[in-house]
């Protein structure tokens, strides 16, 4: 038996060591014009997008069109819409060196390591070779870039995030939509006095609350603070950090979010807003079909409007600069990149924008016009038009910026801070030491 | 923390027990109390299923705005229509069925063989082997994911039915070995000895005595494991890549929209559809299962 | 031992199950034990770090200890619900004349429902805004002061996520204990009743000692399942608010797949395995000693 164990242990070591070493075998990420014949085969795209959503439906159609001229080609779309499950899958595949031809990822530190190892094709070069680079909105590409401005992911969406509000509820409380971020706590107090839930938030998915943490520093310093914070070069104890900590604590004290928000999900939060219980709701243009069409509850349809992220006194960024994400991006695996993949991407990326804009969504490119659906309310057009007037900076969601361990800790501590379970001082010291402990491993 | 588990509330009524002489008349009060209690507990156990079913019949709007615990204002089947339209429920059910059957065959057959070797045949290191199996009951499955994935990709097993069946069967095997061996303990040794004297070898005894006698335990093992395997998400999510192999829990992801927005009413409709086969089997085989559990249990 | 068995026959029966089990369970466990001495994020080269992961776990990780104590609390609540509840219902059932089969079946139902649905339902039940079932019931009973957002309150969340896990498998344990209870010889009980034994003495002196072996196995089953509990807390609160409902298993999962720290995650799971073994040892030790005294 002992012998058996020893054999097994040796085998265990060998198997894993082989996989571990596989990490080193880098391919060339900068060769974007592979030479040779186009040999049609099945290629796969591992993605995390809604199964019945516009991106998947359009890409399926484009793949079918492409296959007509290239018999034998097919695109296998493997979607895992639930993001945590998707990330688990992506990481396991990466660990086993089994990533497919195309895969989705945000511009996370993990993705940056993949890029550094040469596992992803340089998207900037790729888009330029395919002659589509200039079609893209700079903001859409910037969202996908790593800190060193390098680009490895291709965007398929473009979204703008607004603060939606219910005019009649604000009126009932005798207040108006916030002009400055610093107005919000007092606004919440008035709304609460009138018996209205001030802000509906999806606490379960954690990113919505993390957005609020990003707002004050973005107004105070632009993208500077988070870029330094994640590397441990800035701290929460710095003025910009303290401002957001104090503000979040004030939001909590004024009971801005619905009671028990931390366990309420995406649909719960939206229902609170669309049923006329909550006065404000922070969400992006991907929800236009439910907030700005006749699908919206008629009882509130005439009452809702939106503002872009309020500024503050002495703001470093302008009112037309806010969160404008281009969604999870698509990376191209350099190991399996060949004339076929290149040719298909050329075909698909040229045709994609017009098809996508026709569904009423904002294309990541500027060469097409979004079709306003027939059942839209006037807000739809107003929202879409905001995309034409954007500043140069954009507020980056922190969850794609911080190293994953610090990010996880931040998401947990934020809830405690807003619920008043910990003091701003405790929050500051916990988070600063979390950054100090984890950041060096990811950013060297 | 373990001492807390001592039975704090046995069947006795809260008042000091009545003297034996009055016992004949008292039971009615005791019985009423216990019936009320049982009724309450049954409500607690059955309620969720009823809630799930009712919610699957509500309109999206009613679910979003109405009282989630009240009765629906109107019943609708549109959630079911949406559930079938968005997902490929039929294929998901078929895949789950294949995986569940495959795993169950392995679990029952191999579990029975191991238990037979340990319990009936007996050998020098049987205690050690029993201990090895105990580890499997104890280890959290999540940790095996990355090593398993790497191993499977080296032997090209990824994205196959086997890649789900093997780990599911492996991790359920210990419980099956345990249930079978406690049942085998229950078969009187004389039965085996008599058969042995008649010249039957270990294979014939297994086929002619042990196997037919353990039918109830087989049903139990199958049902208990089916509950877990039918609902398994973690292995399926890790090892399956293609649409054609998706099992039910993976199929449920089709109702997740942008940024985590879930179409809950359609999800519940799908849950109701997909637990029906399990529920039917469960209700039909329930009696055999309960007997199996009971006979497996009494010998501990 | 069967008299006519041969060494070969033992191997024929034992090898196939051991092969499957070894390949699917033991081998990956060994691999992960091996990983616990490394620093590896899945795509980097593996770096041998000796006992550094263990040192970090025991001395420098406040979340680990928090999760450990949470896991114990979670276990305690699950055990009370599953074993206490199972014993209570099983005892009640034995006093019933009709309908036993039906109730046993109904009692098992929650085990069939998928975890996602259960987690979603309980989030609703605990909700305060809109008012969920639990807070509504408290209100009706005039206990309005107890109303709260059960899953957001750091003091109640652990109990709130333990309850559904405890509840869903109570039926399984109830069946096992019920089966043991009805196997208590009737003559023993009748004799005791004639001697004037109360229901309580009847239970402690006759019934419980008789079912002790079954009780031990059920306790072990429930304990190991409790220590491995994962999906309900993960789905309901993801460990929050803060780390109030973080368990070792959810923490291990996050360390592996969110932080991509596979080495450290393996270290935590080695700890979980040892913890389970110790727990089983303790249970056997305590229940044996009690039986002897």
> By the 8 A CB rule, do A360 and A373 touch?
yes
Q: In chain A, what percentage of residues exceed pLDDT 90?
A: 76
Q: How confident is the model at residue B68 (pLDDT cuts 50, 70, 90)?
A: low
| pLDDT of A339 | 93
Cα dist from B24 to B32, B35, C197, whole Å:
14, 18, 14
3-state secondary structure of C196: coil
pLDDT at A24 exceeding the cut of 50 = no
Residue A311 pairs in a beta bridge with: A180
Q: Which CATH class is domain A36-158+327-370?
A: alpha beta
Q: Which uninterrupted H or E stretch holds A47? A: strand A42-47
pTM of the model: 0.86
Using the Cβ of A6 and the Cβ atoms of chain B, whether some distance falls under 8 Å is answered with no
> By the 8 A CB rule, do A83 and A266 touch?
no
Of A113, A260, A264, the CB nearest to C43: A113
| pLDDT of A427 | 97
Q: How confident is the model at residue A26 (pLDDT cuts 50, 70, 90)?
A: very low
Q: What is the mean pLDDT of residues C63-88?
A: 92
Range with lowest mean pLDDT among B109-123, C106-120, C180-194, C279-293: C279-293
Preceding omega of B243 cis (within 30 degrees of 0): no
Taking CA–CA distances from A201, the nearest residue in chain C reads: C129
Helix-helix angle C7-21:B161-184, to 10 degrees: 130
Residues of A with Cβ-Cβ distance to B259 under 8 angstroms: 205, 266, 284, 286
| pLDDT of B15 | 40
Choice between B99 and B243, residue whose per-residue pLDDT is larger: B99
Could you tell me which of A113, B161, B111 has the C-alpha nearest to residue C17?
A: B111
| pLDDT of C203 | 83
String of DSSP letters for chain B: --GGGS-SS-SS-SSPPPPGGGTTTTHHHHHHHHHHHHHHHHHHHHHHHHHHHHHHTS-HHHHHHS-TTS--SS---HHHHHHHHHS-HHHHHHHHHHHHHHHHHHHHHHHHHHHIIIIII--TTHHHHHHHHHHHHHS-GGGGHHHHHHHHHHTT-TTSHHHHHHHHHHHHHHHHHHHHHHHHTTS-HHHHHHHHHTT--HHHHIIIIIHHHTHHHHHHHHHHHHHHHHT--HHHHHH--SGGG--HHHHGGGGB-GGG-B-HHHHHHHHHHHHHHHHHHHHHHHHHHHHHHHHHHHT-
Q: How confident is the model at residue A13 (pLDDT cuts 50, 70, 90)?
A: low
Contact criterion met (CB < 8 Å) for C25 and B139: yes
Q: In chain A, what percentage of residues exceed pLDDT 70?
A: 93
Contact criterion met (CB < 8 Å) for C259 and A408: yes
Range with lowest mean pLDDT among A335-339, A349-353, B86-90: B86-90
Residues of B with Cβ-Cβ distance to C172 under 8 angstroms: 224, 293
pLDDT at B124 exceeding the cut of 70 = yes
3-state secondary structure of C48: strand
Ordered by start, the domain boundaries in chain B are 88-298
Which CATH code of 1.25.40.10, 3.40.50.720, 3.40.190.10, 3.40.50.300 fits the domain covering A161-323+394-442?
3.40.190.10
Residue A75 pairs in a beta bridge with: A43
What pLDDT, in 10s, does the model give residues C124-134? 889 887 788 88
Q: In chain C, what percentage of residues exceed pLDDT 70?
A: 97
pLDDT at A45 exceeding the cut of 50 = yes
Of A80, A96, A284, the CB nearest to B153: A96
Residues of C with Cβ-Cβ distance to A21 under 8 angstroms: 45-46
> By the 8 A CB rule, do A333 and A101 touch?
yes
| pLDDT of B6 | 34
pLDDT at A359 exceeding the cut of 80 = yes
Of C27, C45, C151, the CB nearest to A20: C45
Average pLDDT score over chain A: 90
Half-sphere exposure of A26 (CA within 13 A, CB side): 15
Of B147, B238, B258, the CB nearest to A50: B258
d(CA B57, CA B272): 10
Choice between A337 and B182, residue whose per-residue pLDDT is larger: A337
Please list the helix, strand and coil fractions of chain C in percent, rounded to the nearest 5, in that order. 75, 0, 25
Mutate to test the interface with B, among C28, C255, C275 (most CBs of B within 10 A): C28
| pLDDT of A7 | 59
Contact criterion met (CB < 8 Å) for B287 and C249: no
Contact criterion met (CB < 8 Å) for C111 and B227: yes
| pLDDT of A28 | 62
pLDDT at C81 exceeding the cut of 70 = yes
Cα dist from B239 to A240, B244, B246, C22, whole Å:
45, 13, 10, 19
Choice between C159 and B299, residue whose per-residue pLDDT is larger: C159
Mutate to test the interface with C, among A195, A263, A274, A411 (most CBs of C within 10 A): A263
Of C14, C24, C35, the CB nearest to B114: C14
pLDDT at B173 exceeding the cut of 70 = yes
Taking CA–CA distances from C76, the nearest residue in chain B reads: B1
Taking CA–CA distances from C281, the nearest residue in chain B reads: B2
Which chains are within 8 Å of C by 3+ CB pairs? A, B
Residues of C with Cβ-Cβ distance to A24 under 8 angstroms: 45
Q: What is the mean pLDDT of residues A170-178?
A: 94
Q: How confident is the model at residue A9 (pLDDT cuts 50, 70, 90)?
A: low
Contact criterion met (CB < 8 Å) for B117 and C10: yes
Of A15, A265, A270, the CB nearest to B151: A15
Using the Cβ of A394 and the Cβ atoms of chain C, whether some distance falls under 8 Å is answered with no
Mutate to test the interface with C, among B10, B96, B205 (most CBs of C within 10 A): B10
Choice between B40 and B300, residue whose per-residue pLDDT is larger: B40
Q: What is the mean pLDDT of residues C265-269?
A: 89
**Measured between CA atoms, how close is C239 to chain A, in angstroms?**
8
Using the Cβ of B114 and the Cβ atoms of chain C, whether some distance falls under 8 Å is answered with yes
Of C104, C193, C214, the CB nearest to B300: C214
| pLDDT of B292 | 66
Which chains are within 8 Å of B by 3+ CB pairs? A, C
3-state secondary structure of A162: strand
**Measured between CA atoms, how close is C272 to chain A, in angstroms?**
20
Q: How confident is the model at residue C117 (pLDDT cuts 50, 70, 90)?
A: confident
Contact criterion met (CB < 8 Å) for A21 and C45: yes
Range with lowest mean pLDDT among A117-131, B16-30, B152-166, B196-210: B16-30
Q: What is the mean pLDDT of residues C255-271?
A: 87
d(CA C168, CA C107): 9
Residues of B with Cβ-Cβ distance to C6 under 8 angstroms: 202
What pLDDT, in 10s, does the model give residues C135-181? 888 988 888 888 888 999 999 999 999 999 888 888 888 887 887 88
Identical topology for domains A36-158+327-370 and A161-323+394-442: yes
- For C119-129, letters b (16+ CB in 10 Å) and e give bbbbbbbbbbb
Q: How confident is the model at residue C210 (pLDDT cuts 50, 70, 90)?
A: confident
Using the Cβ of B125 and the Cβ atoms of chain A, whether some distance falls under 8 Å is answered with yes
Q: How confident is the model at residue A25 (pLDDT cuts 50, 70, 90)?
A: very low
Average pLDDT score over chain B: 78
CATH superfamily, domain at C63-292: MetI-like (1.10.3720.10)
Contact criterion met (CB < 8 Å) for B260 and A202: yes
3-state secondary structure of A190: helix
d(CA A197, CA A190): 10
Using the Cβ of A274 and the Cβ atoms of chain B, whether some distance falls under 8 Å is answered with yes
Q: B137: which residues sit within 8 A by CB, 6+ positions away?
A: B174, B175, B178, C221, C224
Q: In chain C, what percentage of residues exceed pLDDT 90?
A: 24
**Measured between CA atoms, how close is C189 to chain B, in angstroms?**
13
Ordered by start, the domain boundaries in chain A are 36-158+327-370, 161-323+394-442
Contact criterion met (CB < 8 Å) for B261 and A266: yes
Contact criterion met (CB < 8 Å) for C27 and A261: no
Taking CA–CA distances from B279, the nearest residue in chain C reads: C112
Average pLDDT score over chain C: 85
Helix-helix angle C157-182:B264-298, to 10 degrees: 40
- CATH entry 3.20.20.140 includes domain B88-298: no
Of A12, A110, A262, the CB nearest to C152: A262
Choice between A23 and C253, residue whose per-residue pLDDT is larger: C253
Residues of B with Cβ-Cβ distance to A44 under 8 angstroms: 241
| pLDDT of C131 | 81
Choice between A391 and B285, residue whose per-residue pLDDT is larger: A391
| pLDDT of B14 | 39
| pLDDT of B22 | 44
């Amino acid at each position: 038996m002992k012998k058996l164990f020893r054999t097994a242990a040796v085998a265990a070591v060998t198997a894993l060591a082989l996989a571990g070493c596989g990490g080193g075998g880098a391919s060339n990420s900068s060769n974007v014009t592979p030479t040779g014949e186009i040999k049609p085969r099945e290629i796969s795209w591992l993605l995390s997008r809604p199964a019945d959503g516009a991106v998947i439906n359009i890409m399926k159609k484009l793949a079918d069109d492409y296959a007509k001229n290239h018999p034998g080609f097919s695109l296998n779309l493997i979607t895992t819409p639930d993001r945590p499950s998707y990330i688990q899958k992506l990481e396991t595949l990466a660990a086993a060196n089994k990533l497919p031809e195309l895969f989705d990822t945000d511009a996370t530190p993990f993705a940056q390591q993949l890029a550094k190892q040469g596992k992803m094709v340089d998207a900037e070069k790729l888009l330029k070779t395919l002659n589509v680079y200039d079609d893209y909105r700079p903001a859409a590409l910037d969202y996908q870039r790593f800190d060193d401005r390098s680009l490895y992911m291709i965007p398929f969406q473009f979204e703008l995030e607004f603060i939606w509000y219910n005019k009649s509820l604000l009126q009932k409380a005798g207040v108006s939509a916030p002009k400055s971020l610093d107005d919000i706590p007092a606004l919440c107090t008035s709304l609460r006095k009138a018996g209205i839930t001030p802000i509906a938030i999806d606490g379960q998915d954690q990113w919505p609350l993390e957005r609020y943490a990003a707002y004050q520093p973005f107004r105070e310093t632009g993208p500077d603070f988070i870029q330094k914070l994640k590397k441990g070069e800035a701290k929460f104890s710095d003025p910009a950090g303290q401002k957001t900590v104090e503000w979040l604590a004030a939001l909590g004290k004024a009971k801005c979010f619905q009671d028990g928000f931390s366990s309420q999900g995406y649909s719960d939060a939206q229902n609170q807003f669309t049923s006329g219980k909550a006065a404000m709701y922070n969400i992006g243009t991907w929800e236009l079909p439910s907030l700005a069409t006749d699908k919206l509850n008629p009882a509130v349809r005439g009452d809702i409007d939106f503002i872009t992220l309020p500024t503050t006194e002495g703001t470093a960024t302008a009112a037309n600069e806010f969160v404008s994400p281009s969604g999870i991006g698509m990376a191209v695996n350099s190991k399996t990149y060949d004339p076929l993949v290149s040719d298909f991407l050329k075909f698909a990326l040229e045709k994609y924008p017009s098809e996508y804009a026709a569904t009423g969504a904002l294309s990541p490119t500027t060469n097409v016009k979004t079709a306003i659906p027939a059942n839209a309310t006037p807000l739809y057009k107003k929202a879409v038009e905001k995309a034409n007037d954007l500043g140069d900076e954009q507020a980056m969601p922190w969850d794609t910026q911080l190293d994953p361990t610090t990010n996880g800790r931040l998401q947990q501590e934020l809830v405690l801070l807003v619920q008043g379970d910990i003091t701003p001082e405790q929050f500051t010291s916990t988070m600063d030491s979390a950054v100090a402990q984890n950041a060096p491993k990811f950013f060297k | 923390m373990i001492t807390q588990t001592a039975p704090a509330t046995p069947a006795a009524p809260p008042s000091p027990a009545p003297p034996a002489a009055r016992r004949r008349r008292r039971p009615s009060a005791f019985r009423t109390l216990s019936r009320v209690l049982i009724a309450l507990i049954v409500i607690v156990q059955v309620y969720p299923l009823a809630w799930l079913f009712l919610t699957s019949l509500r309109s999206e709007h009613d679910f979003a705005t109405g009282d989630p615990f009240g009765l629906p204002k109107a019943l609708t089947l549109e959630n079911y229509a949406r559930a079938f339209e968005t997902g490929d429920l039929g294929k998901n059910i078929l895949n789950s069925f294949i995986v569940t059957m495959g795993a169950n065959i392995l679990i029952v057959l191999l579990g029975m063989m191991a238990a037979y070797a340990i319990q009936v045949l007996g050998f020098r290191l049987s205690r050690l082997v029993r201990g090895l199996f105990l580890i499997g009951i104890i280890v959290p499955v999540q940790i095996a994911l990355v090593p398993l994935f790497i191993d499977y990709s080296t032997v090209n097993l990824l994205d196959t039915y086997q890649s789900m069946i093997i780990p599911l069967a492996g991790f359920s095997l210990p419980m099956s070995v345990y249930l079978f061996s406690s049942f085998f303990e229950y078969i009187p040794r004389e039965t085996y000895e008599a058969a042995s004297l008649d010249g039957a070898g270990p294979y014939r005894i297994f086929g002619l005595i042990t196997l037919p006698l353990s039918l109830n335990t087989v049903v139990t093992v199958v049902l208990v494991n089916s509950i877990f395997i039918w609902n398994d998400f973690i292995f399926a999510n890790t090892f399956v890549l293609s649409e054609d192999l998706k099992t039910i829990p993976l199929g449920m992801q089709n109702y997740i929209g942008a940024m985590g927005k879930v179409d809950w009413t359609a999800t519940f409709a799908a849950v109701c559809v997909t637990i029906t086969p399990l529920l039917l089997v469960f209700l039909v085989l329930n009696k055999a299962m309960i007997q199996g559990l009971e006979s497996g249990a009494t010998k501990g | 031992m069967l008299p006519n068995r041969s060494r070969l026959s033992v191997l024929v029966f034992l090898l196939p199950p051991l092969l499957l089990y070894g390949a699917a369970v033991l081998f990956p466990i060994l691999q992960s034990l091996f990983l616990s001495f490394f620093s590896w994020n899945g795509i980097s080269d593996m770096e041998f770090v000796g006992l550094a992961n263990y040192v970090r776990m025991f001395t420098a990780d406040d979340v680990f200890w928090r999760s450990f104590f949470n896991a114990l609390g979670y276990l305690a609540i699950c055990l009370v619900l599953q074993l206490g509840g199972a014993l209570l219902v099983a005892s009640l059932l034995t006093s019933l004349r009709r309908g036993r089969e039906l109730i046993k079946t109904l009692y098992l139902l929650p085990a069939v429902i998928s975890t996602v649905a259960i987690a979603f339902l309980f989030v609703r039940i605990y909700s305060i805004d809109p008012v969920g079932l639990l807070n509504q019931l408290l209100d009706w009973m005039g206990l309005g002061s107890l109303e709260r957002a059960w899953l957001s309150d750091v003091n109640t969340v652990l109990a709130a996520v333990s309850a559904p896990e405890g509840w869903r498998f109570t039926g399984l344990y109830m069946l096992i204990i019920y089966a043991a209870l009805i196997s208590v010889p009737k003559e023993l009980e009748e004799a005791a009743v004639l001697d004037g034994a109360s229901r309580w003495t009847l239970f402690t002196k006759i019934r419980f000692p008789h079912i002790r072996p079954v009780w031990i196995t059920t306790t072990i089953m429930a304990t190991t399942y409790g220590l491995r509990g994962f999906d309900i807390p993960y789905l309901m609160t993801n460990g929050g608010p803060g780390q109030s409902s973080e368990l070792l298993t959810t923490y291990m999962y996050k360390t592996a797949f969110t932080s991509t720290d596979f080495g450290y995650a393996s270290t935590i799971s080695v700890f979980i395995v040892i913890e389970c073994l110790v727990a089983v040892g303790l249970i056997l030790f305590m229940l044996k000693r009690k039986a002897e005294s």
